[in-house]
Every structure is written in structure tokens, then in C-alpha cells.
């Protein structure tokens, strides 16, 4: 089983656009979206869920109204301001409870219980381009790393079940816990950057992360021609950082058109300059993975 993970370190570099474009080109694969906080791969790949499951993580307090005598202790002692009063009744807010259990311990009436926290959903879906594993974390919920691990396991399980040996995955932005969860066990990281100084800064951070986990990485400069001098700076940086630029995708107005229409560029216009470059990159990646 081989897995290609596409990362960027920051949003807005075109990572998801490129993931979707590659997903169209590769034939036998499972698609995974590890951006569980703000997923957007679905906009281009149009998944139709065949399985929807709740995601539970951690605990939250719940006040049993029939036992509560409205003494106010919980409101006073909650360090997270997660208790509220509505119409003279005490409630735990939908967001804010950290499940620390202090209120449960000190409620004089034993009127507070802990409940398993339902903080999102995960999905297995069909897309016109193959099966996709993805998820959505609830607003303000934490533990996205654990949900990423769930999506990763789902992608691997479906791949095994269907005799598929390749997973292409869209990573979360940043370099935090969800990215660390997503990088575990992958064979190759494709870092999508853009020719800006913040792009170069974030490329450096993702490369360090990939190196730390001993995952080989390659660099794709998206819209390289909008700033040729910074693109050159990125290439120079890659040379001294033991990194290889695998692709330089030109700025292409067809990409904007394809995004507006919600169609991956490699399907929208196979002859567009960006599509041709992405196709070339897809072959290079395929060859690299074959040799691994």
C-alpha cells in the first residue's frame, strides 16, 4: 500500500485544487481528506456519502434538571465559563466544556453527569473518481488529530477491502497535530507552495516536519510565474535543503474557471497549461512511488 500526502503548510496555495486534479488522473486509488476542520475537497470531488458515522471524543458535563437545586456552585467553580443560566435554569454550554469534571465532583446534589462527546461525523463516500474517506469536526470542537486518524484508518480499510494499493490524501493546513496525524505512515509528501515569502517560510516548516518523520518530500510551485524572482528563491532553497522541485505549475485562468464550476482542472480542460503540467507531475510521482 502506497500513500501520497499533499501538504502546504498554509492555506491558499492551491493544495486542494492540485489534490483534486491528481485524483482525477490516478485510476485505482482511494481518496482521503484529512482536513477535518474546514474540508473543501468535496467541492470539487462531489462525494455522495454511503456511510455516515458519529465521531465521539472526550467527555462533557450535563446538568440533570430534575436534580439541580440552582445553588450556583458549578457556575462559580467552572474555570472555562462553560456553565450558563437560561430562564433561571443552569446548563452546560454547547461549546466550552473541557470535561474536567470539577463541577461533577463539587455539585452538592450529584446533579451533573459526564456524557461522551459527539464532536463530529466521518463519512465514506462515492465520487465519480473513486471512494473517498473524509470527515467534519463540529464547530469549536477539538481532537482533530484523532478524527484524522479515524479517516486514515477508514481509507486504509477500504483500500484493503477493495484490493486497492494507493491512497491519495489532502492534508490539513499548518504543521500542528492534525498534520502530524496525517503524515504518519505515508510514503511520499508533495508540498504545494506558492512564490511568496510566506510560501517559502511555510515550505521550510513542512519540509522539516516531513524530514522529522523520515518521509521523502517533493515540492510543487504553484503559479510559479506570478513572481519569478521568489520562485527562483524557492528553487535555490530547495537545492540547498536537499529538496527537489518536481513541478512548476503556471498561472492559468482555466483553474479559476474550473474552481468556479466545481470541476477539477484536469477534467475541466485537459489541454490547459496547468493540466498538462499536473499530468506530467502525476507521472513523475507514479514513477517515484513505483521505485519505493
Site for ligand SF4, rule CB under 6 A: 61, 63, 68-74, 78, 80, 82-83, 90, 92, 97-103, 107, 109, 111-112
First-to-last alpha carbon distance for the chain, in angstroms, is: 11
b/e sequence 77-115, b meaning 16+ C-beta within 10 Å: ebeeebbeeeeeebbbbeeebebeeebbeebeeebbebe
Residue 57 zone, left/alpha/beta (φ > 0; ψ -120 to 50; rest): beta
Cell triple for 68: 439541580
CB atoms within 10 A of CB 12: 13
CB closer to ligand SF4, 114 vs 149 = 114
**CA pair distance 256, 145, nearest whole angstrom:** 31
Q: How far is the CB of 96 from ligand SF4 (least distance, A)?
A: 7
Q: How far is the CB of 104 from ligand SF4 (least distance, A)?
A: 6
Q: How far is the CB of 123 from ligand SF4 (least distance, A)?
A: 29
Q: How far is the CB of 109 from ligand SF4 (least distance, A)?
A: 4
CB closer to ligand SF4, 46 vs 70 = 70
Is residue 219 a contact partner of residue 243, using CB atoms and an 8 Å limit? yes
**CA pair distance 26, 23, nearest whole angstrom:** 6
Is residue 24 a contact partner of residue 168, using CB atoms and an 8 Å limit? no
CB closer to ligand SF4, 103 vs 285 = 103
Cell triple for 221: 510551485
CB closer to ligand SF4, 74 vs 137 = 74
CB closer to ligand SF4, 64 vs 228 = 64
CB closer to ligand SF4, 51 vs 65 = 65
What is the rounded radius of gyration, in angstroms, for the C-alpha atoms of the chain?
23
Q: How far is the CB of 108 from ligand SF4 (least distance, A)?
A: 6
Q: How far is the CB of 241 from ligand SF4 (least distance, A)?
A: 44
Q: Is 74 helix (H, G, I), strand (E, B) or coil?
A: helix
- Map grid coordinates 456553565 to a residue: 83
Amino acid at each position: 500500500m502506497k500513500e501520497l500526502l499533499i501538504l502546504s503548510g498554509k492555506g491558499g496555495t492551491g493544495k486542494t485544487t492540485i489534490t483534486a486534479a491528481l485524483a482525477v488522473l490516478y485510476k485505482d486509488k482511494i481518496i482521503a481528506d484529512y482536513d477535518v476542520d474546514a474540508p473543501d475537497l468535496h467541492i470539487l470531488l462531489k462525494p455522495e456519502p454511503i456511510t455516515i458515522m458519529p465521531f465521539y471524543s472526550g467527555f462533557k458535563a450535563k446538568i440533570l434538571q430534575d436534580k439541580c437545586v440552582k445553588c450556583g456552585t458549578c457556575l462559580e467553580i467552572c474555570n472555562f465559563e462553560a456553565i450558563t443560566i437560561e430562564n433561571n435554569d443552569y446548563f452546560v454550554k454547547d461549546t466550552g466544556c473541557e470535561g474536567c469534571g470539577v463541577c461533577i465532583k463539587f455539585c452538592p446534589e450529584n446533579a451533573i453527569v459526564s456524557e461522551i462527546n459527539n464532536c463530529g461525523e466521518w463519512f465514506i463516500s462515492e465520487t465519480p473518481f473513486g471512494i473517498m474517506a473524509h470527515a467534519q469536526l463540529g464547530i469549536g470542537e477539538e481532537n482533530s488529530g484523532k478524527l484524522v486518524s479515524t479517516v486514515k484508518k477508514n481509507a486504509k480499510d477500504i483500500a484493503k477491502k477493495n484490493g486497492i494499493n494507493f491512497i491519495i490524501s489532502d492534508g490539513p493546513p499548518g504543521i500542528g497535530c492534525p498534520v502530524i496525524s496525517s503524515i504518519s505512515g505515508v510514503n511520499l509528501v508533495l508540498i504545494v507552495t506558492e512564490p511568496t515569502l510566506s510560501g517559502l517560510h511555510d515550505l521550510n516548516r513542512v519540509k522539516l516536519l516531513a524530514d522529522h518523520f523520515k518521509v521523502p518530500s517533493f515540492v510543487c510551485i504553484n503559479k510559479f510565474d506570478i513572481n519569478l524572482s521568489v520562485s527562483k528563491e524557492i528553487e535555490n532553497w530547495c537545492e540547498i535543503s536537499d529538496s527537489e522541485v518536481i513541478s512548476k505549475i503556471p498561472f492559468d485562468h482555466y483553474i479559476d474557471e474550473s474552481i468556479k464550476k466545481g470541476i477539477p482542472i484536469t477534467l475541466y480542460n485537459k489541454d490547459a497549461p496547468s493540466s498538462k503540467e499536473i499530468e506530467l507531475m502525476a507521472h513523475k510521482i507514479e514513477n517515484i512511488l513505483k521505485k519505493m
